[in-house]
Amino acid sequence: MIYTNLGILCWGIPLSKRISIYELTLEDLAERLQNQGAPSFRARQLWNNVYKRLLNNPEEMTDIPRDLQLRIQEMFTFTSLETQATVRSNDGNTEKILFSLSDGRSIEAVLMRHQKRRTVCVSTQVGCAMGCVFCATGQMGLERNLSPGEIVEQVIHFARYLSIEDKRVTNLVIMGMGEPFHNYQATMQAIETLNDPTGFKFGSRRITVSTIGIVPMIKRFTQENQQVNLAVSLHAATNELRSELVPINQRYPLNELIPSCKEYVQKTGRRITFEWALVHEVNDGPDQAQALVDLIQGLNCHVNLIPLNPTLGFAGRATSQERVKGFKDFLTDHKIPCTIRVRQGVDINAGCGQLATEKK
Ligand code: SAH
Ligand code: SF4
């Protein structure tokens, strides 16, 4: 390896310009390797090593010649996320990782084990601009979007971690920090990379993306006929209450949001999930339950009820078990399929809406 006094490598690639491998599509990778004079099949070999064998050290990529291994090491980084801290819930079923990004900012991602499932929950932004009052991420404000590679790498990190026990990630929920439809392009590129049948091969049906209800993006998602599952965080069934809890409702009110959800179901033939964080005596009474029935009855949907998880910036508390059951029974009586979300990781602040990182 020859360094100039400017710290530039002999192939002319400054170290600082190394790109994370997870940012690239297979085509991008092929182009970059071809520009270095490597035959085109090497890109697929590298792709296999990264997404099938889950390797992050080119020296272990034994099917790639040594000189190309070195060049790959100088062109790409394989770990742009650094594990700052890991916390495990008391029952051992939930693990939360605090990752630091290359610019020093931080995000969180979660692994949840439940029966035979191992679900990974990833972030799409540092913070969130949507400001939902009960959400710790919303309470932070938005710092920046994540890149496609930063989203992909969260999943690959857990895949590699589970592979030690000979296990795999079974489900992926894009429900961590941030609003995925406020970072649409990066989220979709990340999904495409993870989907790739010649690589990580993570089926769309096992992926769920959750949005607060950015209507133009729901329309785009519908038009593109994206195959991943869609969840919409509703939380209230009247504009008055929803705007209080979820400020973006003032921009995209229920009378625009619900038709876009109906259009999604109609055009794609797929079921939609609605999420509802139950806040004691705020949105857990019969009036809201009735308003919800009026909004979505007859739609191919499923309602996920989540008793509110505590966050520092919101005084509301979780609905009692009795009222959760009352709300659920009301929906069930009106033939709306509904489940109460299993609460996991609340003791380590890894439950829904609890992810947040301190500003540097
Ligand atoms: N921004 C997206 C995805 C991330 S939030 C969205 O809002 O859908 C993931 C889920 O956690 C959403 O359904 C969100 O409404 C819910 N949530 C946020 N804060 C919560 C809290 N304190 N308790 C329970 N669920 C919460
Ligand atoms: Fe953002 Fe979702 Fe939290 Fe709302 S609930 S602030 S959209 S992360």
pLDDT digits (tens, 9 = 90+) for 181-206: 999 999 999 999 999 999 999 999 99
Centroid of ligand 1 to alpha carbon of 187 (angstroms)? 17
Which of the listed residues 125, 132, 145, 276 should we mutate to test ligand 2's pocket, taking the one with most ligand atoms within 8 A of CB? 132
Reply yes or no on whether 352 is catalytic. Answer: yes
The pLDDT of 319-334, averaged and rounded, is: 96
138 lines ligand 1 (CB under 6 A): no
pLDDT at position 83 = 97
Largest CA distance in the chain: 75
pLDDT at 360 over 70: no
Residue 134 Cα, ligand 2 centroid: separation in angstroms?
9
Q: Tell me, which fold does domain 82-348 have in CATH? A: TIM Barrel (3.20.20)
The whole-number pLDDT of residue 358 equals: 66
Question: Which among 245, 308, 352 is the best mutation to test ligand 1's pocket, defined by most ligand atoms within 8 Å of the CB?
Answer: 352
Quick: pLDDT tens for 199-226: 999 999 999 999 999 999 999 999 999 9
Alpha helices in the chain (DSSP H): 26-35, 41-51, 66-75, 136-140, 148-163, 184-195, 215-223, 239-245, 254-268, 286-296, 321-333
Rounded mean pLDDT, 276-280 = 97
* Ligand (nearest to CA of 232): 1
Please determine, for residue 319, whether its predicted confidence score (pLDDT) is greater than 80: yes
* pLDDT bracket for residue 343 (50, 70, 90): confident
Q: One of 108, 150, 179, 275 is an active-site residue; which one?
A: 108
Counting atoms of ligand 2 from 1, which one is nearest the CA of 182? 7
17-21, 112-116, 331-335, 347-351: least confident range: 347-351
Q: Tell me what the mean pLDDT of segment 1-28 comes to.
A: 64
Q: Is residue 1's pLDDT more than 80?
A: no
Distance CA 87, CA 346 (A): 12
The per-residue pLDDT for 352 is: 83
Ligand nearest the Cα of residue 129 is 2
State whether the beta carbon of 175 lies less than 6 angstroms from ligand 1. Answer: yes
Ligand 1 atom at minimum distance from 235 CA: 15
User: Which residue puts its alpha carbon closest to atom 18 of ligand 1?
Assistant: 353
Ligand number nearest CA of 307 is 1
Partner residues linked to 125 by β-bridges: 145
CB neighbours of residue 126 within 10 Å: 23
Residue 16: the pLDDT is 58
Q: What local confidence, expressed as pLDDT, does residue 7 receive? A: 37
Quick one: pLDDT at residue 14?
A: 53
What is the model's pTM?
Answer: 0.94
Listed by start position, the domains of the chain span 4-77, 82-348
* pLDDT of 60 above 90: yes
C-beta separation of 281 from 310 below 8 A: no
| pLDDT for residue 350 | 83
Note if 240 is an active site residue.
no
User: CA dist 156 to 14, 74, 86, Å?
Assistant: 26, 21, 16
Q: Name the pLDDT band for 3 (thresholds 50, 70, 90).
A: very low
| The one-letter amino acid at 13 | I
List the CATH code of the domain at 4-77: 1.10.150.530
